[in-house]
Structure formats: structure tokens, C-alpha cells
Chains A and B, each alone.
Chain A
Amino acid sequence: MAIPFSYNFRNLRVRKTTTVMTALGIALTVAVLLGIMAMVVGLNVALQATGHPLQMIVVRKNSNSELGSQVAREALLSIKYKDGIQKFPNGEPMVSGEIVRVINLPRKNNPEGANVNIRGLSQLGIEMRPGIRLAEGNWFEPGQREIVVGQSIALRYVNAALGDTLRFGRGDWKIVGVLDAGKTAFDNEIWGELNQIASDFNQNETLSSVLVRATDPIALEALKNSMADDQRLYLDAKSEVEYYSQLTSSADPVKFLGVFVAIIMAIGSSFAAMNTMYAAVVRRAREIGTLRVLGFSRGSILLSFVVESLLLSLLGGLFGVLLVIPLNGLKSGIGNFGTTFSEIGFDFRITPFIVLVGIAFATIMGIFGGLLPARTAAKQDILNALREL
């Protein structure tokens, strides 16, 4: 049988200041990693969940985003009558011409403001996005200076709640509804009627993009190829899901930096744990010698010190998880996000998986930090150990 856990546990308790200091170092490392992961998971949910699997976004060739694209209004007619496009029950093709522009709005915690996407679209465009519903109020009426804002906008921006008035373009716009896009990218947009937005932004000749729904996945591919091959139209088509997923790659540098910082901190924390454990081995040399005299093997001593290091790091992991749990559900945003040049709002998400990653990360630090001191303890000569003061 191994040396009992209570031996390790009580030793950690006896040197509680060192234990807490080392565990806090590990906790901060775990917290940094988990904070970054919670942000990335939140962003992924915001962007990857956006889009219908049979829909594609048509933009001008070589444009990476709707914002940098201009599609002539005549092209809309050519697209509408292509084969493989799904139709509404009334026979109308599922094709929605849309305009996307950026405006700057003051945020509640940042009066200098952030960029927000304005989307001008028709009733067709709304119906092609069945995952989106009104959380409050009504949809905008054609011919009225009315807008509907995403939930994330309503929460985080000044005067952006239902019934408020926002000033952009050529004047004031009344907020008549708040849309719930299920935490997808549309929660960060303001929607208005296509022609109203077009005239306010002086964009009557062109659209930014065209949203098209195919009848099936094969037709989707065929349509994409047909758009790309049509030299006259000079367009590119991407599946809607793919388009929003690609935007998540804009978070890659943040993700990389976060993981890099966490790894550097982890190495530091492992050395701190190692230092603590080496000190423990030196201080308890005579105890180690005594345990050997009593009949405990080198293996039991090794295991005991690794277990102690693990207990220490798991305590740190637990502190780390507790530190980041308040972040769960916290609303934040990344400004000038990727090619949309607008802010993407997202919720930090501490999922059970993230908690497990934090504990696993702490475990690795514990094993790495504990193994060498434990080996030193196990290899000690009994007589030399007994002679230590």
C-alpha cells in the first residue's frame, strides 16, 4: 500500500503559505488560458452558428466581405432566374439583395464608440433567416425610417433600446424592434428596409451582397460555380456558413497570443511548483529516510511526492476555474473585427469542457513540477537522508 494521502494533504496544510502562493501562481496561469478559451468559444458560437447550410452569399469577385463588395442591381435579376434556386410557396425565388454599411455608435462603456454593421434588406431577406425572431417590438415598415437592432446592440450601445432614436445617414431612425438572432453574428447588426438604407447612404445603383438559397447541396455547389464562371457578372459566391466561419480566423492572433502567454506562464508555474517540491524534499529528508527504514519502497516515495505536487496543482487549477467562472456569460466585443470592420459582440462561455481543460492543464503542471523532486526524494540514500537535520 502507498503512503496515505493524508500525509501529503497535511503537509500541504502545514506549509499553507507556500502552498497558497504556489497554487495561486498555477491558478493565474489556468485562469489566463481559460479566459482566452472562453472568449474563443464565445466567438465561435457567435460566428460559426450563423448561416443556413443551403444558402450562399454572393459578393463582387475578390471581395472578402459584404462590406467591401459592390454588386450591380441588374445582376440581382440574372441571379434570380438561375437554375437550382429554392422558391417561396408563392413562387418568388429565395434571393435577397442586401446593402451592408458601417456606422460608428457610442457604446455604454466607451463613448468614443465602435463600428456597427447596418444591413438594408427586404422582407424576403428576413424570411430567408428563419432562426431570427423578434425579441421585442415589430419589424420595420417599408417607406418608414424605422430600424430593428440586434440584442447585443440594444444592450451595449447608448440609446439603442426599443423606442429610442438613433441618428445616422441623413437623420433619425426609430428603433421599433429588437431581434434575437440566437447569439449569432446578426445580434450585432442593425437592420432597416433596403431602399430606405440605400437612399440614406446614396447607394441606389448597387447592392453589397445577394443572399441565395439553393434547393439542395448539389445545386448549391453548381450555383457557386456558375456565379464564379460568369465573367459578365464578375461575382464570387461562398456558402453562408463558410463565410461566417472564415471570420473566426480573425480571432486567431488573439487565440495564438493567449495560448502562447498561457504556455509561458505554465512553464513558470511548473518551475514554481518544482521549487516548492524540492524545498519539501530537502526539509523532509529525514522523514523520507524514516519511511524507507519502515519498509516503504523508492516507488512509494516517488508516488507520494508526485501525488503531493498533483494535489498542489489541482488546488491551483480549482482556484483558476473559480477565478474565471464569473466571466461566464459576460458580454464583450472585439472591435474592427476581421474584414467586416465592425464590432462583434460575444458572450464568454465557460463550458464543462473548458473546466476540464483547466484541470488537465493544472495536472500537467503538477506532474511536470513534481516528477524531478520526487525522483530526487526516491533516489536518496537512506543513511544520508537520516543524517539530514
Chain B
Amino acid sequence: MENNLVIETVDLHKEYKRDEFQVIALQNANLQIHKGEFVALMGPSGSGKSTLLYLIAAIDRPSQGRVRVLGQDLQQLSDKEIAHWRNEHVGFVFQTFNLIPVLTARENVELPLLLTNLSKKERIEHAETALKLVALSDRMTHYPRQLSGGQEQRVAIARAIVTDPALILADEPTGDLDAHSAQEVLTILTKLNQEHGKTVVMVTHDPHAARYASKIRYLEKGELLPEGSPPPA
């Protein structure tokens, strides 16, 4: 394996059983993403792009095939090991932000650090640094309901990067945002990629958002189209 290979999927296949029907969500996906890349996964609804992202994040398990992320074969890890691995290496950004409504912005960002050995003081320092990075120093003690959608997504990005993971996975991060907020979020993701060396994989419908990525990969009907393919019609 190449040293700078961050994600490698081999013949990745995922089937769901919905009632009596077998649904193929992803078939024979072979994807390679290198360190420092910003890759957009695009495709129509049901094309399998989110499934691929969830398999890379080990949120879901493949039916067949292999996923290797940062040198780790994910299928070899137990549920508990995966939780620990994800906490350490992957920052995940959701379309719907998924902040905990009863916790402040800083407490939300601090959450993943509760699973580390950092002291309370260090956790607060790290959380505050992450919030500064997304330009939300003045909203630390605000609850999610007191923030705009764009601000909520920026808190969610701060939460995703607070453990300093090598890989950031974003599932439609601008899907619920207005154009201005979307641009702010995409600028932050680009900055994380270019200035902090994070590898970013972003699922998106939006061609404008995809333009921020250094590479676009298309999916159609569960198949990952070859690199350099034009967008599906």
C-alpha cells in the first residue's frame, strides 16, 4: 500500500433488505483517496454516495469487500474498537448538524474529547481553539437554538476537528444552508484541507459546492464511475 493512501476500498458491496426485497446500495466500489486530497462524491439520490461515506466512517458494515482507512482494515475491528478508532481518526459532519440541543457550543465541541485522557482545562482549551478556527469565539456559551444554521454547522465542524483527526467526512454539509452560510462552511473545509493538511471527503448534490474539492468522483445506481468520468446525465 502506498504510504500516503488514506482511504482504500476494494470491491466494496452493500446490500440492504427492505421487506422482502434485496436492495443493492453499492457494488464493487474501488476507491483510493490520498493524503491531503479534498474529494467530492456526487451523484443523484440513491446513487450510493452516502452509503460509501458511512462505510468509510465505519458507521455501517459492508456486505462484501474491504475498507482500509489510515492503514486500518475496518472489518477487523469490534464495535467498541471502531467507536474508539472513529473518535481518534475521523471527524464527521452531518447535513443536519446534529448538535446536542441541551449543550452549549463549547460543550458540544468538547464532547469527543471526553473520550480522551485530556484534563478538563485542556479539553476547554482545545474546544475553544476549534471554535476560534471556525470564527465562533463569541458564541461559545450559546445553545444551538440561539445560533443560525450556518453557525450551527460551523460548531459541528469544530466538533469534528477538535480531536485533530486526519480525515474529515462530510455528508451534504451545505444541504440545509443558505448560499452565504454554505460558502462560509465550504471555505472552512477548504482551509482545513489546504492549511491544516486534512483529507476531506464530502458527499454533495450541489455542483457549486463540489467545485471547492480538488477531485470529484461520481456515483450512479450504486456504482462508482471511473475517475475522470463526466457527471451522469
Contacts and interface: CB of A to CB of B under 8 A. Distances in A.
A290 interface: yes
Given A3-B114, A383-B59, A383-B60, A292 B83 contact: yes
B64 interface: no
A13 B83 CA distance: 29
B59 A287 contact: no
B172 interface: no
Interface stretch (B36-44, B94-102, B204-212): B94-102
Contacts of A292: 83
Interface stretch (A58-66, A178-186, A293-301): A293-301
A286 B102 contact: no
Interface residues of A, number: 25
B28 interface: no
Given A290-B94, A295-B83, A296-B83, A7 B100 contact: yes
Contacts of A294: 86-87, 92, 111-112, 115, 159
A297 B102 contact: no
Nearest to B114: A1
Interface string B80-95: 1001101110001010
B101 A14 contact: yes
A291 B84 CA distance: 12
Interface string A98-132: 00000000000000000000000000000000000
A382 B61 CA distance: 11
Contact of A293 (B57, B88, B96): B57
A173 B159 CA distance: 86
A289 B96 CA distance: 13
B103 A286 contact: no
A250 interface: no
A386 interface: yes
Given A383-B59, A386-B94, A295 B102 contact: no
A106 B102 CA distance: 60
A302 B103 CA distance: 19
Contacts of B54: 383
Nearest to A289: B98
B103 A7 contact: yes
A15 to B, nearest CB: 10
A289 B94 CA distance: 11
Interface residues of B, number: 25
A167 interface: no
Nearest to B92: A293
Given A295-B84, A295-B86, A386-B94, A290 B114 contact: no
B79 interface: yes
Nearest to B97: A290
Contacts of B59: 293, 382-383, 386
Given A11-B102, A386-B94, 7 more contacts: A1-B114, A4-B107, A287-B100, A290-B98, A290-B100, A297-B79, A298-B79
B116 to A, nearest CB: 8
A6 interface: yes
Given A295-B84, A383-B60, A6 B114 contact: no
Q: Is the interface of B mostly helix, strand, loop or mixed?
A: helix
Contact of B80 (A3, A7, A286, A297): A297
Interface of B: 54, 57, 59-60, 79-80, 83-84, 86-88, 92, 94, 96, 98, 100-103, 107, 111-112, 114-115, 159
Given A1-B115, A383-B60, A286 B84 contact: no
Given A290-B94, A382-B59, A386-B94, A295 B100 contact: no
Nearest to B80: A297
A341 to B, nearest CB: 61
A14 B103 CA distance: 11
Contacts of B111: 291, 294
B103 A6 contact: yes
Contacts of A386: 59, 94, 98
Contact of B102 (A2, A10, A382): A10
Contact of B115 (A289, A293, A296): A296
A18 to B, nearest CB: 14
B98 A286 contact: yes
Nearest to A292: B83
A6 B83 contact: no
B178 to A, nearest CB: 21
Interface pairs A-B: 10 shortest CB-CB: A295-B87, A10-B102, A290-B98, A1-B114, A294-B112, A295-B83, A295-B115, A297-B83, A382-B59, A293-B92
Contacts of A298: 79
A6 B102 CA distance: 9
Nearest to B100: A287
A7 B107 CA distance: 10
A291 B86 CA distance: 11
